[in-house]
Amino acid sequence: MTLDKILIANRGEIALRIAKTCKRLGVSTVAIYSEADREAPFVKEADEAFPIGPPPVPQSYLKADEIIQLAIRSGAQAIHPGYGFLSENAGFARKVREAGLVFIGPDADTIEQMGDKIESRKTMSAAGVPVVPGTEAGVATLNEALQAAEKIGYPVMLKASSGGGGIGMVLCHDEQALGQQFQTVKNRSKAYFGDDVVFLEKYIENARHIEVQIFGDIHGNIVHLFERNCSVQRRNQKVIEESPSPSLSADLREKLLSSALEAAKAVHYKNAGTVEFIVGGDDNFYFLEMNTRLQVEHPITEEVTGLDLVEWQIEVAKGNPLPITDQNAIRTTGHAIEYRLYAEDPNTFMPSPGSLQILDWGHADHVRIDAGYREGDQVTPFYDPMIAKVIIHAEDRAQAIERSEAFFAQVQIEGLKTNLPLFSDFIDSEEFKRGDYHTKVLSEWLKQHKGELAK
Protein backbone atom coordinates (compact mmCIF):
# COMPACT_ATOMS: atom_id res chain seq x y z
CA MET A 1 0.00 0.00 0.00
CA THR A 2 1.24 3.48 -0.74
CA LEU A 3 0.72 6.27 1.70
CA ASP A 4 1.81 9.57 0.24
CA LYS A 5 -0.49 11.97 2.06
CA ILE A 6 -1.41 12.00 5.75
CA LEU A 7 -3.79 14.23 7.66
CA ILE A 8 -2.47 15.05 11.13
CA ALA A 9 -5.43 15.37 13.52
CA ASN A 10 -3.54 17.25 16.22
CA ARG A 11 -1.74 20.48 17.02
CA GLY A 12 1.41 21.88 18.62
CA GLU A 13 4.65 20.02 19.01
CA ILE A 14 3.31 16.57 18.16
CA ALA A 15 1.80 17.79 14.87
CA LEU A 16 5.21 19.24 14.00
CA ARG A 17 6.96 16.07 15.12
CA ILE A 18 4.79 13.89 12.87
CA ALA A 19 5.19 16.28 9.93
CA LYS A 20 8.97 16.14 10.28
CA THR A 21 9.09 12.40 9.69
CA CYS A 22 6.54 12.66 6.88
CA LYS A 23 8.74 15.22 5.17
CA ARG A 24 11.79 12.99 5.47
CA LEU A 25 9.82 10.10 3.99
CA GLY A 26 8.43 12.20 1.15
CA VAL A 27 4.87 11.99 2.50
CA SER A 28 2.83 15.19 2.19
CA THR A 29 0.94 16.47 5.21
CA VAL A 30 -2.44 18.04 5.83
CA ALA A 31 -2.87 20.08 9.01
CA ILE A 32 -6.13 21.05 10.67
CA TYR A 33 -6.24 24.03 13.00
CA SER A 34 -8.59 25.97 15.24
CA GLU A 35 -8.95 29.74 15.00
CA ALA A 36 -6.56 30.09 17.96
CA ASP A 37 -3.82 28.21 16.10
CA ARG A 38 -4.04 30.06 12.77
CA GLU A 39 -0.46 31.37 13.10
CA ALA A 40 1.02 28.30 14.80
CA PRO A 41 4.24 26.75 13.46
CA PHE A 42 2.58 23.40 12.78
CA VAL A 43 0.14 25.07 10.40
CA LYS A 44 2.91 26.78 8.44
CA GLU A 45 4.99 23.61 8.33
CA ALA A 46 2.27 21.45 6.75
CA ASP A 47 1.89 21.18 2.97
CA GLU A 48 -1.80 22.01 3.28
CA ALA A 49 -3.82 23.34 6.21
CA PHE A 50 -7.54 23.66 6.85
CA PRO A 51 -9.43 25.56 9.54
CA ILE A 52 -11.61 23.24 11.60
CA GLY A 53 -13.49 25.57 13.96
CA PRO A 54 -13.34 27.94 16.94
CA PRO A 55 -10.73 27.50 19.71
CA PRO A 56 -12.60 25.22 22.18
CA VAL A 57 -11.56 21.61 21.63
CA PRO A 58 -15.08 20.13 21.22
CA GLN A 59 -15.68 22.60 18.39
CA SER A 60 -12.36 21.97 16.64
CA TYR A 61 -9.87 19.16 17.31
CA LEU A 62 -12.58 16.73 18.45
CA LYS A 63 -14.85 17.15 15.42
CA ALA A 64 -14.39 13.60 14.20
CA ASP A 65 -16.76 13.66 11.21
CA GLU A 66 -15.44 16.95 9.86
CA ILE A 67 -11.86 15.77 10.20
CA ILE A 68 -12.63 12.60 8.25
CA GLN A 69 -14.40 14.62 5.55
CA LEU A 70 -11.40 16.93 5.30
CA ALA A 71 -9.07 13.97 4.92
CA ILE A 72 -11.17 12.60 2.06
CA ARG A 73 -11.52 15.97 0.36
CA SER A 74 -7.81 16.72 0.58
CA GLY A 75 -6.90 13.33 -0.85
CA ALA A 76 -5.12 12.04 2.26
CA GLN A 77 -5.10 8.26 2.58
CA ALA A 78 -4.45 8.17 6.32
CA ILE A 79 -5.04 10.03 9.58
CA HIS A 80 -2.42 10.26 12.32
CA PRO A 81 -4.15 11.18 15.60
CA GLY A 82 -1.02 12.06 17.64
CA TYR A 83 -1.71 11.82 21.38
CA GLY A 84 -4.67 13.20 23.35
CA PHE A 85 -7.72 14.46 21.41
CA LEU A 86 -9.08 11.60 19.24
CA SER A 87 -6.08 9.28 19.58
CA GLU A 88 -7.72 6.84 21.99
CA ASN A 89 -11.25 7.21 20.72
CA ALA A 90 -12.31 3.79 19.42
CA GLY A 91 -15.35 5.27 17.68
CA PHE A 92 -13.12 7.63 15.71
CA ALA A 93 -10.68 4.87 14.70
CA ARG A 94 -13.64 2.80 13.48
CA LYS A 95 -15.17 5.68 11.52
CA VAL A 96 -11.85 6.51 9.86
CA ARG A 97 -11.53 2.93 8.63
CA GLU A 98 -15.18 2.72 7.58
CA ALA A 99 -14.53 5.81 5.47
CA GLY A 100 -11.87 3.81 3.62
CA LEU A 101 -8.96 5.62 5.24
CA VAL A 102 -6.05 4.27 7.25
CA PHE A 103 -6.05 5.03 10.98
CA ILE A 104 -2.43 5.18 12.15
CA GLY A 105 -2.88 3.28 15.39
CA PRO A 106 -4.14 -0.04 16.73
CA ASP A 107 -7.46 -1.80 16.06
CA ALA A 108 -10.53 0.02 17.35
CA ASP A 109 -11.40 -3.06 19.43
CA THR A 110 -8.00 -2.91 21.14
CA ILE A 111 -8.45 0.79 21.94
CA GLU A 112 -11.85 0.00 23.42
CA GLN A 113 -10.67 -3.01 25.39
CA MET A 114 -7.64 -1.22 26.87
CA GLY A 115 -9.64 1.93 27.58
CA ASP A 116 -11.89 0.08 30.01
CA LYS A 117 -10.23 -0.23 33.42
CA ILE A 118 -11.93 -3.44 34.51
CA GLU A 119 -11.78 -5.07 31.08
CA SER A 120 -8.04 -4.38 30.61
CA ARG A 121 -7.33 -5.65 34.11
CA LYS A 122 -9.16 -8.90 33.38
CA THR A 123 -7.41 -9.35 30.04
CA MET A 124 -3.96 -8.83 31.53
CA SER A 125 -4.67 -10.98 34.53
CA ALA A 126 -5.75 -13.81 32.23
CA ALA A 127 -2.56 -13.39 30.19
CA GLY A 128 -0.46 -13.85 33.32
CA VAL A 129 0.55 -10.19 33.62
CA PRO A 130 0.45 -9.14 37.28
CA VAL A 131 -2.25 -6.58 38.19
CA VAL A 132 -2.62 -4.64 41.44
CA PRO A 133 -4.35 -7.10 43.82
CA GLY A 134 -7.84 -5.94 44.68
CA THR A 135 -11.55 -6.67 44.82
CA GLU A 136 -12.90 -5.35 41.53
CA ALA A 137 -16.44 -6.47 42.29
CA GLY A 138 -16.69 -4.53 45.54
CA VAL A 139 -17.02 -5.54 49.17
CA ALA A 140 -20.48 -5.42 50.72
CA THR A 141 -19.80 -5.80 54.43
CA LEU A 142 -17.00 -4.97 56.86
CA ASN A 143 -16.44 -8.66 57.41
CA GLU A 144 -15.99 -9.22 53.72
CA ALA A 145 -13.62 -6.26 53.56
CA LEU A 146 -11.50 -7.54 56.44
CA GLN A 147 -11.22 -10.98 54.87
CA ALA A 148 -10.28 -9.51 51.49
CA ALA A 149 -7.71 -7.19 53.05
CA GLU A 150 -6.14 -10.13 54.85
CA LYS A 151 -5.67 -11.85 51.50
CA ILE A 152 -4.38 -8.76 49.69
CA GLY A 153 -2.08 -7.70 52.51
CA TYR A 154 -1.93 -4.31 54.24
CA PRO A 155 -1.68 -1.41 53.57
CA VAL A 156 -4.82 -1.27 51.44
CA MET A 157 -6.63 1.58 49.75
CA LEU A 158 -10.38 1.66 50.42
CA LYS A 159 -12.06 3.26 47.42
CA ALA A 160 -15.53 4.30 46.33
CA SER A 161 -16.35 2.55 43.04
CA SER A 162 -17.85 5.69 41.57
CA GLY A 163 -15.19 7.94 43.07
CA GLY A 164 -12.49 9.90 41.37
CA GLY A 165 -9.94 12.63 41.88
CA GLY A 166 -8.99 11.36 45.31
CA ILE A 167 -12.49 11.78 46.77
CA GLY A 168 -13.76 8.73 48.59
CA MET A 169 -10.33 7.18 48.99
CA VAL A 170 -8.76 6.22 52.32
CA LEU A 171 -5.45 4.51 53.04
CA CYS A 172 -5.76 1.82 55.73
CA HIS A 173 -2.59 0.53 57.34
CA ASP A 174 -4.23 -2.19 59.42
CA GLU A 175 -7.40 -4.01 60.42
CA GLN A 176 -8.29 -1.36 62.96
CA ALA A 177 -8.10 1.49 60.44
CA LEU A 178 -10.18 -0.46 57.94
CA GLY A 179 -12.77 -1.15 60.64
CA GLN A 180 -12.98 2.54 61.50
CA GLN A 181 -13.11 3.79 57.93
CA PHE A 182 -15.36 1.25 56.23
CA GLN A 183 -18.75 2.79 57.07
CA THR A 184 -17.46 6.36 56.69
CA VAL A 185 -16.23 5.78 53.13
CA LYS A 186 -19.47 3.96 52.30
CA ASN A 187 -21.55 6.87 53.62
CA ARG A 188 -19.42 9.46 51.89
CA SER A 189 -19.64 7.54 48.63
CA LYS A 190 -23.42 7.48 48.94
CA ALA A 191 -23.51 11.21 49.65
CA TYR A 192 -21.09 12.23 46.89
CA PHE A 193 -21.76 9.76 44.13
CA GLY A 194 -25.19 8.37 44.91
CA ASP A 195 -24.00 4.79 45.32
CA ASP A 196 -22.20 3.15 48.22
CA VAL A 197 -20.20 0.44 46.45
CA VAL A 198 -16.65 0.34 47.80
CA PHE A 199 -13.68 -1.85 46.95
CA LEU A 200 -10.16 -2.55 48.15
CA GLU A 201 -6.86 -2.32 46.34
CA LYS A 202 -3.35 -3.06 47.51
CA TYR A 203 -1.49 0.16 48.25
CA ILE A 204 1.91 0.15 46.58
CA GLU A 205 4.47 1.91 48.75
CA ASN A 206 7.36 3.88 47.26
CA ALA A 207 5.98 3.21 43.82
CA ARG A 208 7.84 3.93 40.62
CA HIS A 209 6.10 4.46 37.31
CA ILE A 210 7.96 2.49 34.65
CA GLU A 211 6.52 1.89 31.20
CA VAL A 212 7.57 -0.19 28.24
CA GLN A 213 7.32 0.89 24.62
CA ILE A 214 5.96 -1.90 22.47
CA PHE A 215 5.30 -2.22 18.76
CA GLY A 216 3.31 -4.73 16.76
CA ASP A 217 2.41 -5.26 13.11
CA ILE A 218 -0.41 -7.01 11.23
CA HIS A 219 1.86 -10.01 10.59
CA GLY A 220 1.97 -10.91 14.27
CA ASN A 221 5.42 -9.51 15.03
CA ILE A 222 5.71 -7.85 18.44
CA VAL A 223 8.82 -6.23 19.92
CA HIS A 224 9.62 -3.93 22.81
CA LEU A 225 11.74 -0.79 22.58
CA PHE A 226 12.81 -0.86 26.20
CA GLU A 227 11.52 1.11 29.17
CA ARG A 228 11.02 4.67 30.37
CA ASN A 229 10.91 5.80 33.98
CA CYS A 230 8.22 8.47 34.38
CA SER A 231 8.14 8.76 38.16
CA VAL A 232 8.90 12.48 38.34
CA GLN A 233 5.32 13.68 38.35
CA ARG A 234 3.16 16.35 39.84
CA ARG A 235 -0.54 15.62 40.36
CA ASN A 236 -0.25 12.58 38.07
CA GLN A 237 1.20 14.80 35.37
CA LYS A 238 4.59 13.60 34.10
CA VAL A 239 7.34 16.21 34.28
CA ILE A 240 10.64 14.39 33.66
CA GLU A 241 11.15 11.01 31.97
CA GLU A 242 14.27 8.89 31.54
CA SER A 243 15.40 5.95 29.49
CA PRO A 244 16.82 3.60 30.54
CA SER A 245 15.27 3.68 34.01
CA PRO A 246 17.85 4.37 36.72
CA SER A 247 17.99 2.02 39.71
CA LEU A 248 16.53 -0.96 37.90
CA SER A 249 18.23 -4.33 38.25
CA ALA A 250 18.90 -6.31 35.08
CA ASP A 251 16.65 -9.03 36.41
CA LEU A 252 13.69 -6.72 37.07
CA ARG A 253 14.17 -4.97 33.72
CA GLU A 254 14.03 -8.33 31.96
CA LYS A 255 10.81 -9.23 33.81
CA LEU A 256 9.15 -5.90 32.98
CA LEU A 257 10.07 -6.15 29.31
CA SER A 258 8.84 -9.71 28.96
CA SER A 259 5.60 -8.91 30.82
CA ALA A 260 5.03 -6.01 28.44
CA LEU A 261 5.48 -8.36 25.48
CA GLU A 262 2.99 -10.78 27.05
CA ALA A 263 0.52 -7.91 27.50
CA ALA A 264 0.94 -6.85 23.87
CA LYS A 265 0.56 -10.42 22.61
CA ALA A 266 -2.59 -10.93 24.67
CA VAL A 267 -4.38 -8.30 22.61
CA HIS A 268 -2.56 -8.99 19.30
CA TYR A 269 -1.30 -5.45 19.49
CA LYS A 270 -0.62 -3.52 16.29
CA ASN A 271 1.27 -0.24 15.94
CA ALA A 272 2.81 1.80 18.81
CA GLY A 273 1.68 1.18 22.36
CA THR A 274 2.87 1.62 25.90
CA VAL A 275 2.42 -0.76 28.79
CA GLU A 276 2.52 1.13 32.07
CA PHE A 277 3.61 -0.61 35.25
CA ILE A 278 3.71 0.45 38.85
CA VAL A 279 6.81 -0.93 40.55
CA GLY A 280 6.80 -1.17 44.33
CA GLY A 281 9.70 -0.47 46.67
CA ASP A 282 9.92 -4.27 47.09
CA ASP A 283 10.42 -4.67 43.31
CA ASN A 284 7.04 -6.31 42.81
CA PHE A 285 5.38 -4.81 39.77
CA TYR A 286 1.84 -4.53 38.49
CA PHE A 287 0.11 -3.64 35.22
CA LEU A 288 -1.41 -0.17 35.42
CA GLU A 289 -2.77 0.50 31.94
CA MET A 290 -1.97 0.29 28.29
CA ASN A 291 -1.80 3.45 26.21
CA THR A 292 -2.86 2.73 22.66
CA ARG A 293 -1.07 5.59 20.95
CA LEU A 294 2.23 7.36 20.51
CA GLN A 295 3.31 8.66 23.92
CA VAL A 296 4.35 12.26 24.70
CA GLU A 297 7.69 10.94 25.99
CA HIS A 298 8.47 8.75 22.96
CA PRO A 299 11.54 10.88 22.01
CA ILE A 300 13.70 9.44 24.80
CA THR A 301 13.09 5.99 23.34
CA GLU A 302 14.01 7.33 19.91
CA GLU A 303 17.21 8.83 21.27
CA VAL A 304 18.46 5.68 22.97
CA THR A 305 17.38 3.25 20.23
CA GLY A 306 18.17 5.50 17.28
CA LEU A 307 14.79 4.62 15.75
CA ASP A 308 12.03 6.89 14.41
CA LEU A 309 8.78 5.76 16.03
CA VAL A 310 6.57 7.77 13.69
CA GLU A 311 8.25 6.08 10.72
CA TRP A 312 7.55 2.72 12.34
CA GLN A 313 3.92 3.73 12.84
CA ILE A 314 3.56 4.61 9.17
CA GLU A 315 5.24 1.36 8.06
CA VAL A 316 2.89 -0.69 10.23
CA ALA A 317 -0.13 1.30 9.05
CA LYS A 318 0.83 0.51 5.44
CA GLY A 319 0.65 -3.17 6.27
CA ASN A 320 4.40 -3.71 6.19
CA PRO A 321 6.23 -5.74 8.81
CA LEU A 322 8.05 -3.89 11.61
CA PRO A 323 11.31 -2.41 10.29
CA ILE A 324 13.11 -4.65 12.80
CA THR A 325 11.44 -7.90 13.81
CA ASP A 326 14.41 -9.44 15.60
CA GLN A 327 14.27 -8.31 19.23
CA ASN A 328 18.00 -8.84 19.66
CA ALA A 329 18.74 -6.38 16.87
CA ILE A 330 17.11 -3.56 18.87
CA ARG A 331 19.67 -2.01 21.19
CA THR A 332 20.09 1.10 23.24
CA THR A 333 23.03 3.41 23.63
CA GLY A 334 23.56 5.94 26.38
CA HIS A 335 20.94 7.69 28.45
CA ALA A 336 18.18 10.13 27.53
CA ILE A 337 16.16 12.50 29.73
CA GLU A 338 13.10 14.46 28.68
CA TYR A 339 11.85 17.61 30.41
CA ARG A 340 8.37 18.95 29.78
CA LEU A 341 8.46 22.71 29.69
CA TYR A 342 5.10 24.06 30.80
CA ALA A 343 3.67 27.58 30.74
CA GLU A 344 2.95 27.63 34.46
CA ASP A 345 3.98 29.48 37.57
CA PRO A 346 6.83 27.42 39.11
CA ASN A 347 5.59 28.20 42.62
CA THR A 348 1.81 28.08 42.45
CA PHE A 349 1.61 25.82 39.35
CA MET A 350 -1.18 28.00 38.00
CA PRO A 351 -1.36 28.16 34.20
CA SER A 352 0.45 31.09 32.65
CA PRO A 353 -0.83 31.72 29.14
CA GLY A 354 0.73 34.63 27.29
CA SER A 355 3.15 35.70 24.63
CA LEU A 356 6.61 34.18 24.21
CA GLN A 357 8.33 37.53 23.82
CA ILE A 358 11.71 35.89 24.19
CA LEU A 359 12.36 32.22 23.52
CA ASP A 360 16.08 31.72 23.22
CA TRP A 361 17.37 28.16 23.58
CA GLY A 362 21.00 29.26 23.44
CA HIS A 363 23.61 26.71 22.42
CA ALA A 364 21.75 23.49 22.08
CA ASP A 365 24.40 20.96 21.12
CA HIS A 366 23.35 17.38 21.96
CA VAL A 367 19.87 18.70 22.74
CA ARG A 368 16.69 17.83 20.89
CA ILE A 369 13.92 20.37 21.29
CA ASP A 370 10.42 19.35 20.24
CA ALA A 371 8.68 22.70 20.55
CA GLY A 372 5.16 23.66 19.56
CA TYR A 373 5.93 27.37 19.62
CA ARG A 374 8.53 29.82 18.43
CA GLU A 375 9.62 33.20 19.74
CA GLY A 376 6.81 35.71 19.39
CA ASP A 377 4.05 33.06 19.48
CA GLN A 378 1.03 33.18 21.77
CA VAL A 379 0.48 30.33 24.21
CA THR A 380 -3.30 30.43 24.46
CA PRO A 381 -5.41 29.20 27.39
CA PHE A 382 -7.38 26.79 25.20
CA TYR A 383 -4.97 23.88 25.16
CA ASP A 384 -2.51 22.13 27.44
CA PRO A 385 0.32 24.25 28.85
CA MET A 386 3.22 22.37 27.24
CA ILE A 387 5.52 24.72 25.33
CA ALA A 388 8.20 22.21 24.44
CA LYS A 389 9.92 18.98 25.31
CA VAL A 390 13.65 19.18 25.89
CA ILE A 391 15.40 15.87 25.26
CA ILE A 392 18.99 15.37 26.23
CA HIS A 393 20.96 12.31 25.17
CA ALA A 394 24.40 11.47 26.52
CA GLU A 395 26.75 8.56 27.04
CA ASP A 396 25.47 7.96 30.55
CA ARG A 397 23.08 9.42 33.12
CA ALA A 398 25.66 11.58 34.88
CA GLN A 399 26.64 13.18 31.60
CA ALA A 400 22.98 13.68 30.64
CA ILE A 401 22.36 15.52 33.91
CA GLU A 402 25.50 17.59 33.43
CA ARG A 403 24.44 18.58 29.93
CA SER A 404 20.95 19.38 31.19
CA GLU A 405 22.35 21.73 33.82
CA ALA A 406 24.52 23.50 31.26
CA PHE A 407 21.61 23.78 28.85
CA PHE A 408 19.06 25.13 31.35
CA ALA A 409 21.54 27.70 32.66
CA GLN A 410 21.47 29.56 29.35
CA VAL A 411 17.85 29.19 28.17
CA GLN A 412 15.94 32.47 28.20
CA ILE A 413 12.17 32.71 28.18
CA GLU A 414 10.26 35.91 28.74
CA GLY A 415 6.64 36.96 28.45
CA LEU A 416 5.12 34.17 30.51
CA LYS A 417 6.02 32.04 33.50
CA THR A 418 7.43 28.55 33.01
CA ASN A 419 8.62 25.64 35.13
CA LEU A 420 12.18 26.12 33.82
CA PRO A 421 13.55 27.20 37.27
CA LEU A 422 12.24 23.95 38.71
CA PHE A 423 14.34 21.80 36.36
CA SER A 424 17.72 23.30 37.20
CA ASP A 425 17.01 23.13 40.95
CA PHE A 426 15.42 19.71 41.02
CA ILE A 427 17.97 17.84 38.89
CA ASP A 428 20.66 19.17 41.20
CA SER A 429 18.96 17.49 44.16
CA GLU A 430 20.33 14.42 45.87
CA GLU A 431 16.95 12.70 45.38
CA PHE A 432 17.09 13.00 41.62
CA LYS A 433 20.80 12.31 41.27
CA ARG A 434 20.51 9.08 43.24
CA GLY A 435 17.95 7.89 40.71
CA ASP A 436 15.99 5.60 43.03
CA TYR A 437 13.12 8.07 43.29
CA HIS A 438 9.41 7.20 43.45
CA THR A 439 6.28 8.99 42.20
CA LYS A 440 6.05 11.31 45.19
CA VAL A 441 9.62 12.59 44.86
CA LEU A 442 8.73 15.87 43.21
CA SER A 443 5.85 16.81 45.51
CA GLU A 444 7.96 15.97 48.58
CA TRP A 445 10.93 17.92 47.24
CA LEU A 446 8.67 20.88 46.44
CA LYS A 447 7.26 20.85 49.96
CA GLN A 448 10.79 21.18 51.34
CA HIS A 449 11.86 23.85 48.89
CA LYS A 450 8.68 25.84 48.61
CA GLY A 451 9.27 29.45 47.76
CA GLU A 452 12.83 28.92 46.62
CA LEU A 453 11.88 28.81 42.97
CA ALA A 454 10.79 32.44 42.82
CA LYS A 455 12.38 34.22 39.92
Partner 1 sequence: MTEVKAAMAGTVFTVNVSVGDQVETGQVIVVLESMKMEIPVETESAGKVTSINVQVGDFVNEEDVLAIVEE
Piece of the chain touching partner 1 by CB under 8 A; list 242-250, 292-300, 348-356, 400-408: 348-356
In angstroms, give the least distance from the CB of 33 to partner 1.
18
In angstroms, give the least distance from the CB of 262 to partner 1.
34
- Is residue 373 close enough to count as binding partner 1 by CB under 8 A? no
**What is the phi/psi pair of residue 182, to 5°?**
-50, -55
| Contact call for residues 182 and 142 (beta carbons, < 8 A) | yes
- Is residue 15 close enough to count as binding partner 1 by CB under 8 A? no
Q: 83 vs 382, which CB is nearer to partner 1?
A: 382
d(CA 437, CA 439): 7
- Is residue 382 close enough to count as binding partner 1 by CB under 8 A? yes
Q: 244 vs 385, which CB is nearer to partner 1?
A: 385
Q: 12 vs 134, which CB is nearer to partner 1?
A: 12
Q: Which of 1, 250, 350, 409 binds partner 1 (CB under 8 A)?
A: 350
Q: 106 vs 163, which CB is nearer to partner 1?
A: 163
In angstroms, give the least distance from the CB of 241 to partner 1.
19
Q: 309 vs 343, which CB is nearer to partner 1?
A: 343
Which of positions 385-424 make contact with partner 1 (CB under 8 A)? 385
Q: 269 vs 342, which CB is nearer to partner 1?
A: 342
Q: Which of 56, 115, 155, 280 binds partner 1 (CB under 8 A)?
A: 56
Q: Is 121 a catalytic residue?
A: no
- Is residue 344 close enough to count as binding partner 1 by CB under 8 A? yes
Q: 350 vs 454, which CB is nearer to partner 1?
A: 350
In angstroms, give the least distance from the CB of 373 to partner 1.
13
- Is residue 83 close enough to count as binding partner 1 by CB under 8 A? no
In angstroms, give the least distance from the CB of 143 to partner 1.
40
- Is residue 61 close enough to count as binding partner 1 by CB under 8 A? no
SS3 annotation, the chain? CCCCEEEECCCHHHHHHHHHHHHHHCCEEEEEEEHHHCCCHHHHHCCEEEEEECCCHHHCCCCHHHHHHHHHHHCCCEEECCCCCCCCCHHHHHHHHHCCCEECCCCHHHHHHHHCHHHHHHHHHHCCCCECCECCCCECCHHHHHHHHHHHCCCEEEEEEEEECCEEEEEECCHHHHHHHHHHHHHHHHHHHCCCCEEEEECCCCCEEEEEEEEECCCCCEEEEEEEEEEEEECCEEEEEEECCCCCCHHHHHHHHHHHHHHHHHCCCCEEEEEEEEECCCCCEEEEEEECCCCCCHHHHHHHHCCCHHHHHHHHHHCCCCCCCCHHHCCCCCEEEEEEEECECCCCCCECCEECCEEECCCCCCEEEEECCCCCCEECCCCCCEEEEEEEEECCHHHHHHHHHHHHHHCEEECCCCCHHHHHHHCCCHHHHHCCCCCCHHHHHHHHCCCCCCC
Piece of the chain touching partner 1 by CB under 8 A; list 128-136, 248-256, 382-390, 427-435: 382-390
Q: 11, 121, 188, 293: which is the annotated catalytic residue?
A: 293
In angstroms, give the least distance from the CB of 9 to partner 1.
18
Number of residues that bind partner 1 (CB under 8 A): 15
d(CA 239, CA 247): 19
Q: Which of 383, 423, 426, 445 binds partner 1 (CB under 8 A)?
A: 383
Piece of the chain touching partner 1 by CB under 8 A; list 103-111, 214-222, 378-386, 428-436: 378-386
In angstroms, give the least distance from the CB of 57 to partner 1.
9
Binding site for partner 1 (CB under 8 A): 55-56, 343-344, 350-354, 380-385
- Active-site annotation, residues: 293
